[in-house]
Amino acid sequence: MSTSDSSSLKFSLESLNNGGSLANKCGIVITEMGPDRVSGTMPVAGNTQPYGLLHGGASAVLAESLGSIHAMALAPAGKLAVGVDLNCTHHRSAREGVVTGTSSVAHAGRSTASLEVVIHNEAGKRICTARLTCNYIDAPR
């Protein structure tokens, strides 16, 4: 799906990849958006701790960005997804290259959605597993 019109809001990959959001500041690029998964990439460079490792907070930004977009793509008509819980387990570090995250649905209901986001390095090794839970609230009119 390249465009979503759930919640009477329209967004496309192009609109998600442009603008002044935190995801854009971290260099996140959404590469795939559909009902079953949302994927994106983020460079390690510029998103590190002072000693050169990928910052855990940057992994959290990637996870919440992908999961929130996924929840919005699944949102019931007239609803917005808002994150209420994010849990990240960091399995290994990355020092260079690009990491890729993929969101998949753990639960999609009328009032909540839970997404699992797995982040891999360029060698395909898992560096982070995250779970995001979103509540659906009424969209502004």
Q: Is 122 a catalytic residue?
A: no
Q: Which residue has the tokens 């000693």?
A: 51
How far is Cα 117 from Cα 119, in angstroms, rounded to an integer? 7
Catalytic residue among 14, 32, 64, 122: 64
DSSP string covering 50-80, please? TTSSBPHHHHHHHHHHHHHHHHHHHPPTTEE
Known catalytic residues? 64
